[in-house]
Amino acid sequence: MIPRFSRLSFRTKINCGIVLIVGLIAIPLAYLTWRAAAESLLTETRKRGLVLSENLAMRVSDAMLSMDLLRLKNMVDELKKVDDIVYAFILDRQGNILVHSYTGGFPVELIGANAPANGAPHIRLLDTGRELIDDFAAPVVIVGTPFGTARIGLSRTKAEAAADRLALMIVFYSATAMVAALAPSTLFARRVTERINRLKAHAEEVVKGNLDPRAGPPAARACSDILACDKKLCPAYGDRDRRCWLTASPDQRGEGPESCRDCQVYNEQKGDEIQDLAETFDVMAVSLKTHLDELRRAERVLSRQEQLLRTILDATPDLVCLLDEHLAYLAVNRAFAAFLGLEPAAIVGRTDRELFPADEGEAMHDHNRLVLESARPSDREVFLRRNGSPVWLHVVRVPISDGRGRAMGLLRTARDVTQLKQFQEQLIQSQKMESLGKLAGGVAHEINTPLGVILGYAQLLQEDVPPDGQLHADLQTIEKQAKVCRKIVADLLGFSRQAESAKIEMCFNNSLMEAISLVRHAFSLDKTVVVTDLDERMPIIYGDPEKLKQVWINLLTNGRDAMDGRGGALLVRSRLFTRDQKVTAWFADTGPGIAPENQGRIFDPFFTTKPVGQGTGLGLSVSFGIIKDHGGSITVQSPAPPGFFDAMEPGDAAGPGAVFVVDLPLEHEETIGGPQPADPVEG
Amino acid sequence: MRRRDFLLAALLAPALAACSRDEDAVRVNLAKREETTLRQQPRAVTYAYLPQYAHTVSYERHRLLLDYLGRATGLTLRQIFPDTFEEHVRMVERAEIDISFSNPFAYIRMARSGARAFARIVEPSGKPDFCSHIICRRDNDALRRLEDCRGKRWMAVDPSSAGGYLYALGEFLDHGIKRRDFAEITFAPGPGGKQEKVVLSVFAGACDIGSVRDGTLDILRGKIDIAQIRVLAKSKSYPGWVYAARAGLAPEITAKVARALFALSIERPNDAAILLTAGMRGVIPATDADYDSVRALAEKLGLDAIEETE
């Protein structure tokens, strides 16, 4: 029953309560009133009966003395006219009926039914079968002498009927009052529930996030209007929607809201509890909205900062990750995820053991734990192999601790240092080669003198022996091989820059053409054609013509050798770049090209792809040294850039080819009659 | 559940209590009826007191005297109560009253039917005579002398009252004031207590002057403020109340009664209580001749003519 009652609407509950209250008041009240009225009526009836009977007893004295039966009869008959008096009669002192109000005989049983007791009136209830009668027997006493009895019968049934009518009337009025109370209670309940429902709707709006509606009624005048206040900085200034004792700044409120009790504004705008609740709710909504706005702003700032941090982390090529105290990933950057080939979300929560190959993962996990336990940063380089390529990573681990110094995770950054490693190796190799060159140069210089002696004595001996003899032929072989040795020695000397360099102003194109003309015929025998595309402005450079010619011949020969006897084309192109103060020559072949892994090493001394005995591996390194000596540079591109051979005849291009690019600086400014003058030199 | 039962019981208890009645009713059958008949009174010597007061006052005054007379004479006496003076006179004439105690005027009328005075009382004043007091309100400044009563409203006790009307009327005549000179002459409404009614009427202002026998004011002393009443004039004194035996009453009865009356002495406490209660100090013998002065007054007033016209 109680749960069912709790589901009733508030309005119904109020109505039920009012009906219950009115009922609880009215029913006992009606009962008590009825009882009291009945008692009172009974008492009054008795008093009245006593008064009437005593009055009758007094009034009949004279008539009894004079035996004036007519007057006596009139007296009892007068009483009989009263509605609730059933009878009245007079007895003389002997108990004889003098007069009575009955017609058609007197009910004799009445005579003995009641009598005065000890000279005082006596009341007795009589039951006639049809009704109850209060019989009053008052003695007629004259000068202390009993002269008879005056008897009156009052109908109690009628008196009780009057009381019952009164009770019925009270019940009727109570019911009317109950019905009448329902109307104002319904109005009251509707008023209250309407306001509560409005508050509820407002609360629902707040739950939905809409903090703008107002639950409380707006005031007719703002507090600033009532008090003629000019403090415009006060939050309550001009605000009719909210009450100033809830919103005003503390300096306006004095010692707090309690100080507002005597304020005119408070007394004018103060509402009941529901209005207070609504207004407090409004203030709460506004406060909430303010806090929410602040939170959103803070969230935007945080989001922006997070985005920036994320961008920084994601943009950095370093592999950055954060691990928790159990060494599971908390966050990783995009580079790390790309390194593992996974999405960041797939990494978070997992450990190195799960993400890396068994041997690597275990080692990394152990090292992570070591750093976490020792609470000291670690810095080391790790070698891994990815897709068959070696990868060097520089890994830094930084433990992270909470406010109490307890380790709660670690930050790990790893940088790919493979290229750096290669450079380091190349540097070591270069230093090694430089030492070797110096050694070879020294050896060659020492060998050159005995070799000259061997060559000289071989030539002298030839003069001493017959020209067609076997001895002569052997001497010629010695001479020839000695010359080969001398060339090797000369190359070694050149590589180690110990050869003399004689630089002069020279024509770049002529130098090229001189070398080309030397090899063109020999190359043609190997089905190799040499095509030239030279800058017509005939650039002049400052260089050693012999050494440069050696470079050109080396490059051309290298190109011819690359085609491996199958024939092809060699394209020599020169261009002057006055803006950059350089001249560039391209030596392109249509050979099979150079493998990428070899491109970084072809200028190393003694590096050759040719079979043993066919190359010393010194040609390109010597050429590299000469060009470097001239302040220029030599690089290789393979395959040749597309369209490079467009100037040549179609069909000549047989392979991807390779292009050697030689840049030489223009040592001297010159006017070569070109449309574009040379740019001025800085300084 | 128990709480609900308790609540129900609490609500029903008064209702149940209302069903009970705290007194037993006596069963009476009103259908059983009979016509009533009064028993015949036993034969007795009837004694009546001229109803100048209420019957109860008359009864009270003469109850002890009648008890005494019964004891002293051995006769059975019964006091009866005629409602008016006239009825008293008539009842004496009809022999319904054997011993009459009346004022002198009533007596002289009864004497005409043969009644004879045999005793008269000594007034409480100690004299065997009494007079009429003409009274007015004390604050009535317009009444200073008897002559001022002309044009005033006069209430008297009864047209046949000696001290209450006739003696005063004689006094007015002696002063040349006739009945027609008054604005109105009214008499106290009957029956009984008429002397008191006159005093009360004057006291209430219902009339300007009133006439009562002497001694009346003392009777009312405890009931109203007697100081508000002023005695304007007193009439001449005439013989007081008289005991008369009706015509035909056995003389020995009269003699017994007379003896018993004469035997009463104010000196004896028991007798004094009887005498003072009856408003007298003693009883002395009387003869019819004692009332000639009253007859003269009645003639002067033209009472016979009045009676005939009334």
Predicted ipTM of the assembly: 0.70
pLDDT in tens, A446-478: 888 888 899 899 888 888 888 888 889 998 899
Beta bridge pairs of residue B185: B154
A457 touches chain B (CB under 8 A): no
- DSSP SS3 for A398: strand
State which amino acid sits at residue B212: V
Looking only at the bridges linking them, the beta strands covering B209-213 and B153-156 are parallel
Residue of chain A whose Cα is closest to the Cα of B84: A66
Chain A to chain B Cβ contacts (< 8 Å)? 93
- A113 CB neighbours in chain B (<8 A) are 26, 28
Cα B207 from Cα B199, distance rounded (Å): 10
Cα A227 from Cα A221, distance rounded (Å): 10
Average pLDDT over residues A648-670: 71
Q: Which of B30, B54, B59 sits opposite A128 (nearest CB)?
A: B30
- Cβ atoms of A127 and B28 within 8 Å: the answer is yes
Q: Which of B27, B56, B81 sits opposite A143 (nearest CB)?
A: B56
pLDDT in tens, A519-558: 888 888 888 888 888 888 878 888 888 888 888 988 888 8
Query: Which of A:92-131 have CB within 8 Å of B?
Result: 94, 96-98, 100, 102, 104-110, 113-114, 124-129
- B14 CB neighbours in chain A (<8 A) are 28, 31-32, 35
Cα A372 from Cα A370, distance rounded (Å): 6
Question: What is the predicted pLDDT for the residue at A670?
Answer: 43
Q: Which one has a higher pLDDT value, A519 or A669? A: A519
Instruction: Report CB contact under 8 Å: A62, B192.
Output: yes
Question: What is the predicted pLDDT for the residue at A225?
Answer: 86
Question: What is the predicted pLDDT for the residue at B172?
Answer: 92
B18 Cα to chain A: minimum distance (Å): 8
Contacts of A523 (CB under 8 A, 6+ apart): A529, A530, A556, A560, A570
Band of residue A199 on the pLDDT scale cut at 50, 70, 90: confident
pLDDT over 70 for what percent of chain A?
A: 92
CA torsion angle A275 A281 A283 A285 (round to 10): -150
Q: Which of B26, B35, B55 sits opposite A113 (nearest CB)?
A: B26
A92 Cα to chain B: minimum distance (Å): 10
Dig out the tokens for A143 from the structure: 């000068």
- Cβ atoms of A137 and B26 within 8 Å: the answer is no
Burial letters for A433-444: b for 16+ Cβ neighbours within 10 Å, e otherwise?
beeebeebbeeb
Instruction: Report CB contact under 8 Å: B36, A96.
Output: yes
Instruction: Report CB contact under 8 Å: B83, A108.
Output: no
Cα A71 from Cα B55, distance rounded (Å): 14
- DSSP SS3 for A617: coil
Question: What is the predicted pLDDT for the residue at B22?
Answer: 59
Alpha-carbon distances of B109 from A524, A623, B193, rounded to whole Å = 212, 202, 22
- Cβ atoms of B137 and B203 within 8 Å: the answer is yes
B77 Cα to chain A: minimum distance (Å): 14
Cα B89 from Cα B102, distance rounded (Å): 9
Q: Which of A98, A106, A124 sits opposite B33 (nearest CB)?
A: A106
> What end-to-end distance do the CA atoms of chain A give, in Å?
106
Dig out the tokens for B115 from the structure: 């009644």
Q: What is the pLDDT along chain B (310 residues), one digit of tens a residue?
A: 455 566 555 555 555 454 445 578 888 888 888 888 877 778 889 999 988 777 888 888 898 999 999 999 999 999 988 888 888 999 999 999 999 999 888 898 899 989 999 999 998 878 888 889 999 999 988 899 889 999 999 999 888 778 888 889 999 999 989 888 999 999 998 766 788 889 999 999 999 999 998 888 888 888 888 889 999 999 988 888 899 999 999 999 999 999 999 999 999 999 999 998 888 889 999 999 999 988 888 888 876 545 533 3
Cα B246 from Cα B45, distance rounded (Å): 11
- B63 CB neighbours in chain A (<8 A) are 143, 145
- DSSP SS3 for B126: coil
Q: With 60 as the cut, is the pLDDT of residue A624 above it?
A: yes
pLDDT in tens, A39-54: 888 888 888 889 999 9
Q: Which of B29, B36, B63 sits opposite A143 (nearest CB)?
A: B63
Instruction: Report CB contact under 8 Å: A66, B55.
Output: yes
Question: What is the predicted pLDDT for the residue at A301?
Answer: 92
User: Distance from CA of residue B105 to its chain's centroid?
Assistant: 15
Element (H, E) at A79: helix A69-81
Residue of chain B whose Cα is closest to the Cα of A24: B11
Q: With 90 as the cut, is the pLDDT of residue A149 above it?
A: yes
Cα A416 from Cα A381, distance rounded (Å): 10
Q: Which of B16, B22, B30 has the highest number of chain A CBs within 10 A, making it the mutation to test binding with A?
A: B30
A639 preceded by a cis bond (ω within 30 of 0): yes
Q: With 80 as the cut, is the pLDDT of residue A496 above it?
A: no
B179 Cα to chain A: minimum distance (Å): 33
A27 Cα to chain B: minimum distance (Å): 9
Question: What is the predicted pLDDT for the residue at A68?
Answer: 83
Alpha helices by DSSP H, listed for A108-222, are: 156-208
Instruction: Report CB contact under 8 Å: B54, A110.
Output: no
Instruction: Report CB contact under 8 Å: B34, A108.
Output: yes
B180 Cα to chain A: minimum distance (Å): 35
Q: With 90 as the cut, is the pLDDT of residue A642 above it?
A: no
A74 touches chain B (CB under 8 A): no
- Cβ atoms of B64 and B274 within 8 Å: the answer is yes
Instruction: Report CB contact under 8 Å: A125, B58.
Output: no
Residue of chain B whose Cα is closest to the Cα of A97: B36
Dig out the tokens for A297 from the structure: 């702003």
Question: What is the predicted pLDDT for the residue at B116?
Answer: 93
Q: With 50 as the cut, is the pLDDT of residue A257 above it?
A: yes
Question: What is the predicted pLDDT for the residue at A677?
Answer: 39
pLDDT over 90 for what percent of chain A?
A: 10
B110, exposed or middle or buried, with CB in 10 Å at 0-12, 13-18, 19+?
buried
Contacts of A503 (CB under 8 A, 6+ apart): A542, A543, A544, A630
Q: With 80 as the cut, is the pLDDT of residue A64 above it?
A: yes
Please give the mean pLDDT across all residues of chain A. 82
- Cβ atoms of A182 and A19 within 8 Å: the answer is yes
Alpha-carbon distances of A430 from A158, A424, A433, A608, A615, rounded to whole Å = 143, 10, 5, 17, 21
A356 touches chain B (CB under 8 A): no
